[in-house]
Amino acid sequence: MSEPKQKKRLIKKFRHKFRLVLLNDETFEEKISLKLTPLGVFTLMGVLFIISIVITSLVIAFTPLRKFIPGYTDVNLRKNLVQMVFRVDSLEREIMINEKYLNNIHLLLSGNPPLGLEESKKDTSQNYKNITYTKSIQDSALRQFVESEEKFNIFFKPANARKGDISSFVFFTPLKGQITNVFNAEKSHFGVDIVAPENEAIKATLDGTVIFTGWTSETGYVIHLQHASNIVSIYKHNSVLLKKTGDYVKAGNPIAIIGNSGEYTSGAHLHFELWYNGLPINPETYMMFNK
């Protein structure tokens, strides 16, 4: 019985009415008279507190005052940060690609196979036994005609070919002779071996700049040319180099003399490689070597 009585007594206190009177201090004239209850006062204070919170939140959210709040991030700043993160990620990817390309160039200059070469897998659903890779008479005649037409054409500039499309270039055959070892990337033979008489001049296959000349114990005297559209040509086992690093050569200019230098050779021949965008390609696809 005591608990219900206490609750009723507490409710009665909250609902007990009081009068708030404001009087003139000099005349004691009544100016304002208000009837109040504790419950009404607490309710009014709660409502005013909620209204003040709402107004403060609106002022902070929609006025520049929000910039002065510790830990608050501006929307534009956050957007710029996200864009910068994506840009940094793209730059890191570009740097990785460039580093891989430069490493491959370094390996090429030192006579080693580049990294990242993946052997292509043949489609087992197709029958490749009946495919012949011999050149037709018409194809051979067309190649000979183009080479003979462009050999003494002073207006022909391979560098004017479409950038990035190797099929639009007309290559000058560096040496005419007999091919003794064909291109085979699966066996890490990234070029062709051409046998020719002694003292034959080796010519540049395209306009370009000499980026390396030197000697290695495996391949003897070597010269590398950098051409347009990320094309690199490599000439190994020479007896004499006629150009030095930094020289600019035209297609058909003599750059070396055939030789038998280096350990990986058993006679006078040229080992010729053609690289495009850091990957080896078969030189026989773009030029004829047989006399």
Mean pLDDT of the chain: 79
- Distance, in Å, from the CA atom of 205 to the CA atom of 202, rounded to the nearest integer, reads 9
For the cut 70, the answer to whether the pLDDT of residue 44 exceeds it is yes
For the cut 90, the answer to whether the pLDDT of residue 274 exceeds it is yes
The single residue listed with the structure tokens 């864009």 is 83
- Distance, in Å, from the CA atom of 159 to the CA atom of 251, rounded to the nearest integer, reads 10
User: Which of these, 149, 169, 148, lies nearest to 159 by C-alpha position?
Assistant: 169
Q: For the residues 228-238, what does the mean pLDDT come to?
A: 92
Instruction: Compute how many other C-beta atoms are within 10 angstroms of the C-beta atom of residue 105.
Output: 19
Is-contact 237 270, C-beta < 8 A?
yes
For the cut 50, the answer to whether the pLDDT of residue 69 exceeds it is yes
Give the single-character DSSP code of 243.
Answer: -
Q: For the residues 58-78, what does the mean pLDDT come to?
A: 70
Q: What is the pLDDT of residues 3-24, one digit of tens each?
A: 777 777 777 777 778 887 888 7
Classified as helix, coil or strand, 273 is: strand
Confidence of residue 219 (pLDDT cuts 50, 70, 90): confident
Residue 30 has which token pair? 């009544």
- Distance, in Å, from the CA atom of 235 to the CA atom of 225, rounded to the nearest integer, reads 9
Q: Residue 8 is which amino acid?
A: K
For the cut 60, the answer to whether the pLDDT of residue 161 exceeds it is no
Residue 261 has which token pair? 């230098």
Exposed/middle/buried for 32, CB within 10 Å: 0-12, 13-18, 19+? Answer: exposed
214 to 52, 175, 245, 259: CA distances (angstroms): 83, 20, 9, 14
Structure-model confidence comparison of residues 81 and 209, the more confident one: 209
pTM over cut 0.75: no
- Distance, in Å, from the CA atom of 181 to the CA atom of 195, rounded to the nearest integer, reads 10
Confidence of residue 93 (pLDDT cuts 50, 70, 90): confident
Exposed/middle/buried for 139, CB within 10 Å: 0-12, 13-18, 19+? Answer: exposed
Is-contact 172 203, C-beta < 8 A?
yes
User: Which of these, 290, 72, 82, 58, lies nearest to 196 by C-alpha position?
Assistant: 290
